[in-house]
Chains A and B, each alone.
Chain A
Amino acid sequence: MALGNALANRPKADEPTINITSMMDMFTIILFFLLSSYGSKPVEFNVDKNMELPESSATFDYSNSVKLFLSDSSIKVEEEQVASLKNGQVLELDMNKPKSSYLYIKLKSFHDKQLAKAKENSPQNSGESKDDFHVLFFCDRNLPYKTMSNIMKVAALAGYPNFQLAVLEKS
């Protein structure tokens, strides 16, 4: 009982308050940093782990189109592998008969689809559409031009003579 009285009579301690000002400061800094790095059109690309894109001072926005990935071991159109590479040589591509390659067939099918879609969407269905499709080209920075050139030639044959070279913004 005596102990109970002592506890009851003890001066009440102030409720502890957490000082959140410093936390607010930290959050404000993080918020502004994240706002500045907020991507206006974030898109995910499944790029090979060992593919290194070159850096460039180019500031043009890429447009989403058919994506062609050229790494040191494989060639992919969108998500599908269409050929493999060994020592810079494309294994499933004979440059004397490029139209027989799967790369050509795949790109051609994409081009035909895009063309048909553009015709459908052309004004008054006049049947005429502007063929200005391009390939968004992801290429490893260390690949020689010879390899690139063959792929670009096949793409041009399939109806894509225009390219957008995917590059990383200079840090």
Chain B
Amino acid sequence: MAALGQRRRTAELECEIDMVPIMNMFLVLIPFLLASSTTLFLNGINTSVPVMAQTSEPAAVEKKSEVKITATVKLQDYQLVLEATSDEIAENKLKEMDTTLKNTNGQYQYAQLATALLRIKDLYPNSDTLILMPGERIIYDRIVKTMDVARAFEGQTLFPNVVISGQVK
């Protein structure tokens, strides 16, 4: 009887996991990760400035079957002006897509701009280029915000190719 009790007591002995090697591993990993952790996440927006072509290659202009609209957004001090251009659509039809969005409380109407761009994109889904024409005093931050709106709105891609205007000879 006494032997049985002794056996039970031995079986109930607590067993502890040796945490020291795990702690050592953590102590090595944490300084390493701290050293290589990034505090700021940098991204890039691809853009270009139009360059005056100097070649006379005939392949420069290629006719495509799908109608494409090139949207132009002028960033002015007190308003945003959206204009649509295309060689394949009549002028009066293009005019219908033009919009002027006056600033409210000194801020651009980005939501309305996105809606107008979305309308163009719905009508002509192959359109992918937007020309941004900022005024001289428009700050860079506003240009980037407008580019963000022009590229995508509520998860839908609008005009992924944004070109900043300016001509170089």
Contacts and interface: CB of A to CB of B under 8 A. Distances in A.
Interface stretch (B37-45, B60-68, B96-104): B37-45
Interface residues of B, number: 42
Contacts of A58: 43-45, 147-148, 151
A142 B138 CA distance: 9
Contact of A142 (B43, B140, B148, B164): B140
Contacts of B147: 56, 58, 165
B136 interface: yes
Given A149-B136, A153-B166, A156-B49, 10 more contacts: A20-B23, A23-B23, A37-B37, A38-B37, A58-B148, A61-B43, A148-B140, A167-B42, A167-B144, A168-B43
Interface string B109-138: 000000000000000000000000011111
A81 interface: no
A42 B43 CA distance: 12
Interface residues of A, number: 50
B86 interface: no
Contacts of A152: 49, 164, 166
A35 B47 contact: no
11 contacts: A31-B33, A38-B38, A62-B44, A63-B44, A139-B140, A141-B139, A156-B166, A163-B46, A165-B45, A166-B42, A169-B43
A20 B23 CA distance: 9
A165 B144 contact: yes
Contact of B44 (A30, A61, A140): A61
Given A56-B147, A63-B44, A42 B36 contact: yes
Interface of B: 19, 22-23, 26, 29-30, 33-34, 36-38, 40-51, 75, 134-141, 143-145, 147-148, 151-152, 164, 166, 168
A116 interface: no
B139 A161 contact: no
Interface string A27-40: 11011001101110
Contact of A157 (B48, B164, B168): B168
A60 B42 CA distance: 9
Given A37-B37, A142-B140, A165-B45, A56 B148 contact: yes
Given A139-B140, A141-B140, A149-B166, A39 B44 contact: no
A152 B135 CA distance: 15
A115 B56 CA distance: 23
Most A CB atoms within 10 A — which of B33, B34, B44, B168? B44
B138 A59 contact: no
Contacts of B44: 58, 60-63, 136, 164-167
Interface in A120-159: 134, 136, 139-146, 148-149, 152-153, 156-157
